[in-house]
Amino acid sequence: NYRIGMASNYLRHGESIANFSSGAGKISRINAVTLGESPASEENDLVLPSDEFCRQALIPNPQKYLEMYKRSVEDPAGFWSDIASEFYWKQKWGQPVFSENFDVRNGPIDIQWFKGGVTNICYNCVDRNVESGNADKIAIYWEGNEPGFQDSLTYSQLLQRVCQLANYLKDVGVKKGDAVIIYLPMLMELPIAMLACARIGAVHSVVFAGFSADSLAQRIMDCKPKVVITCNAVKRGSKTIQLKDIVDTALAESSKNSISIDLCLTYENQCAMKRGDTKWQDGRDVWWQDVVPKYPTSCMVEWVDAEDPLFLLYTSGSTGKPKGVLHTTGGYMVYTATTFKYAFDYKPSDVYWCTADCGWITGHSYVTYGPMLNGATVVVYEGAPNYPHPGRCWDIVDKFNVTIFYTAPTLVRSLMRDGDQYVTRYSRKSLRVLGSVGEPINPSAWRWFFNVVGDSRCPISDTWWQTETGGFMITPLPGAWPQKPGSATFPFFGVQPVIVDDKGIEIDGACSGYLCVKNSWPGAFRTLYGDHERYETTYFKPFPGYYFSGDGCTRDKDGYYWLTGRVDDVINVSGHRIGTAEVESALVSHPQCAEAAVVGFEHEVKGQGIYAFVTLVEGVPYSEELRKSLILTVREQIGAFAAPDKIHWAPGLPKTRSGKIMRRILRKIAARQLDELGDTSTLAEPNVVDQLIALADC
């Protein structure tokens, strides 16, 4: 089993760990003894992998990692070509294996991997497994919201389902390069729809089924899909959500803006709602079950170039307009497969469950593509993780003998609050690797996850990455090195993280600053759909020569990376990224709201909560009703997950003389750190701060 010990103890034993403090990209191993005594603090806790785990691990020690890492940064073309060769390519890529311009000062940013290579990711996820002896292996175990509802598909059954839908889509005129919007909950039809699009070279854009009609409409108008795929309704916990109604509203909205959608393919989710109760527009709406099963169960693959687009996924930025992150085929395929394999120490006998929804990048890379490229058995769960009781997750783990369980810190914290008894009542003995994603995991949640859920036996892969990165960037490799609770540890193969200061100067050694990356990696996004300029401005101009992540980061004296959260106007609520500007623009659309400023504040379960300062239109009194109606406006315009936790009435907002809102002060007020407001002398009207403080708990 694992030992939890002090870093200083571990280091004193003279063992060495990977250390990057002498400069990114360069690898040096330091003898830990030279580090001297470390003060006793949580940060110095090291969690050592057991010999038993290491013996079976893909990367059993730091030496093996260092050897592979060294090659990955010194010879990226060779390193990634070797891995890419394990997949099926109709035609091999040309030379060079990759090309990049990563520096805006040298012209447009341009990243290409495996250019000239011809492949298909659906073929590699499905057909390749069927042909290599895994035809009867379970691809998907599906578990419904209501206990007792379940289903499964083998790889060969999955292939048939994917082909039927692919044939249907082709038949209705969807061609290579066309966009398809998928607005579905976690039914098996969601990964099926993604794979079917990929099979025919269509570009999917999955919209999380928690987004409102307005948000869906905005995405429809941006990418102008040929088809929208949805279902009539879904049950989540004890609630029934009528998704088709939301789609109807979104389609009406987009046709008002002259984007009309001719086809809405609707899956009848009988567990949630009968056909007859669904509102219907003849001519446009078609039941999935009426058409798709009639199509042949085999379908020719559309072979695409490695750099052809695979999908668009919208994510929040610091302005009101969501960004369409574009990923292409070849590099993304190789990268998601490889990160999945090593970060979870994947073995063919594993049963893998990721609780994320396919509406987010985690569900793209680590429910659908990464696992299936490895021929894994994946659990897809439709419902809420605490329904009908807080033990549901462990019930599902025991039921399918889940070995790898990947989730978000917010769920860990909420289950931790419910009490150990809901966990210990289940065996969980199948578990061997745990994973965390979406936000920094606080050490106490890490420890609970490790000790209680994993019985002090399972390493935790705290994977840092982003919608933009396609796959893991900084992550533990289980068994490869000691872990520190709360640290994402070291970079994945091929990734060269750097920490820069305000001026964009790289800092060495133990330090804090902005997290950047100094070279491309196969899974990197290639552009923002329709807005390459915004792509460059947001990610490549802040610190020329680097990709800027938007996150703050600390590197400790042992070289471990600690992510400290967003440094831009993006907040992270339960692992969901929300732009403060989006919430503000929803609030100010309310007829009684004159101005709004939104900041994040620390929230016990969600990580960050949404705190909105609101100035009302002259003469409008503040009321409880108005508070509710402001929150409702945000729910309607973005989605329930973006609803503000706190509305703070603000007769005025703290602004500089040039009119810029001083968010720094608002963050302190939101955190009730009233004695840390800092310098307020540059405010146009310093007394607004006192006013705000006086109204803090109204």
Q: Does 488 bind ligand WT7 (CB under 6 A)?
A: yes
Closer residue to ligand WT7 in complex, CB, 583/616: 583
Report which of 423, 400, 427, 397 is spatially closest to residue 412, judged by C-alpha positions: 423
Applying the rule CB under 6 A, the residues between 164 and 223 that interact with ligand WT7 are none
Binding test (CB under 6 A) with ligand WT7, winner from 205, 467, 483, 615? 467
Q: Does 315 help bind ligand WT7 (rule: CB under 6 A)?
A: yes
Q: What is the dihedral of CA 178, 204, 141, 172, to 10 degrees?
A: -20
Q: If phi over 0 gives left and psi between -120 and 50 gives alpha, with beta otherwise, what is residue 107?
A: left
Q: Count residues contacting ligand WT7 (CB under 6 A)?
A: 23
Long-range CB contacts (within 8 A, 24+) of 497-504: 497/24, 497/473, 497/553, 497/561, 498/24, 498/546, 499/553, 499/554, 499/555, 500/543, 500/546, 504/542, 504/543, 504/544, 504/545, 504/546
Helix/strand/coil for 23 = coil
Minimum distance of ligand WT7 from residue 532's CB (angstroms) = 19
Least separation in angstroms between residue 576's CB and ligand WT7 is 7
529: closest CA among 223, 208, 198? Answer: 223
- One residue of 463, 489, 585, 608 binding ligand WT7 per CB under 6 A: 463
Is 473 exposed, middle or buried, given 0-12, 13-18 or 19+ CB atoms closer than 10 A? buried
Beta carbons of 93 and 87 less than 8 angstroms apart: no
The residue range among 14-22, 563-571, 621-629, 652-660 that interacts with ligand WT7, by the rule CB under 6 A, is 563-571
Burial of 238 (0-12, 13-18, 19+ CB in 10 A): exposed
Verify binding: residue 437, ligand WT7, rule CB under 6 A.
Answer: yes
407: contact with ligand WT7 by CB under 6 A: no
Closest separation between CB of residue 413 and ligand WT7, Å?
Answer: 14
Considering only 202, 361, 433, 571, the residue that binds ligand WT7 (CB under 6 A) is: 361
- The token duo for 561 is 């990376």
In the bound complex, what is the minimum distance in angstroms from residue 559's beta carbon to ligand WT7? 17
Residue 263 · residue 170 · CB < 8 Å: no
**One residue of 60, 550, 639, 654 binding ligand WT7 per CB under 6 A:** 550
- Are the C-beta atoms of residues 269 and 231 closer than 8 Å to each other? yes
Among 244, 577, 663, 668, binds ligand WT7 (CB under 6 A): 577
User: Smallest Cα–Cα separation from 693: which of 479, 46, 676?
Assistant: 676
Q: Is 568 a catalytic residue?
A: yes
Part of the chain binding ligand WT7 (CB under 6 A), chosen from 100-108, 217-225, 384-392, 558-566: 558-566
The residue range among 34-42, 98-106, 179-187, 547-555 that interacts with ligand WT7, by the rule CB under 6 A, is 547-555
Cβ distance to ligand WT7 smaller for residue 479 or 550: 550
CB of 644 to ligand WT7, least distance (A): 19
- For position 382 contacting ligand WT7 by CB under 6 A, the verdict is no
Q: Which is closer to ligand WT7, CB of 266 or CB of 410?
A: 410
Neighbours of 447 (CB within 10 A): 20
DSSP 8-state secondary structure symbol assigned to residue 421: H
Q: Supply 544's token pair.
A: 């020329």
Q: What is the largest CA-CA distance in the chain?
A: 75
Tell me if 465 contacts ligand WT7 by CB under 6 A: yes
Give me the least distance between CB of 608 and ligand WT7, in Å please: 10
Among 362, 414, 483, 489, binds ligand WT7 (CB under 6 A): 362
* 413 DSSP 8-state letter: H
Residue 518, token pair as written in the block: 């100094």
- Selected catalytic residue, list 285, 568, 679, 697: 568
Minimum distance from residue 480 beta carbon to ligand WT7 (Å): 17
For the bound state, the minimum distance from the C-beta of residue 39 to ligand WT7, rounded and expressed in Å, comes to: 24
State yes or no: residue 122 binds ligand WT7 (CB under 6 A).
Answer: no
Torsion angles phi and psi, residue 530, rounded to 5: 70, 10
Determine the interface stretch with ligand WT7 among 35-43, 68-76, 456-464, 539-547 (rule: CB under 6 A).
Answer: 456-464
DSSP character string of 552-593: EEEE-TTS-EEEEEESSSEEEETTEEEEHHHHHHHHHTSTTE
Q: By CB under 6 A, is residue 496 in contact with ligand WT7?
A: no
* Part in contact with ligand WT7 (CB under 6 A); list of ranges 102-110, 140-148, 570-578, 652-660: 570-578
H helices of 488-575, where? 532-535
Nearer to ligand WT7, 198 or 361 (CB): 361
Residue 466 makes contact with ligand WT7 by CB under 6 A? yes
Query: How buried is 34 (Cβ within 10 angstroms: 0-12 exposed, 13-18 middle, 19+ buried)?
Result: exposed
Q: Contact region for ligand WT7 (CB under 6 A) — 118-126, 414-422, 545-553, 606-614?
A: 545-553
Q: Does 440 bind ligand WT7 (CB under 6 A)?
A: yes
Q: Is 485 in the site for ligand WT7 (CB under 6 A)?
A: no
CB of 375 to ligand WT7, least distance (A): 23
**What is each CA distance from 698 to 40, 623, 648, in whole angstroms?**
42, 10, 8
Measured from the CB atom, the residue of 437 and 445 that comes closer to ligand WT7 is 437
Residue 174 CA, chain-centre distance (Å), reads 28
If binding is defined by CB under 6 A, does position 572 make contact with ligand WT7? yes
Does 556 contact ligand WT7 by CB under 6 A?
no
Residue 401 φ/ψ, nearest 5 degrees: 55, 50
> What are the structure tokens assigned to 149, written together?
């509802």
- Residue in the structure block whose two tokens are 């309607």: 636
Q: What character string, x for contact with ligand WT7 (CB under 6 A) and - otherwise, covers 11-50?
A: ----------------------------------------
Choose between 195 and 437: whose C-beta lies nearer to ligand WT7. Answer: 437
Task: Give the binding site for ligand WT7 (CB under 6 A).
Answer: 315, 361-362, 437-440, 462-467, 488, 549-551, 563, 565-566, 572, 575, 577
Q: Which residues are catalytic?
A: 568
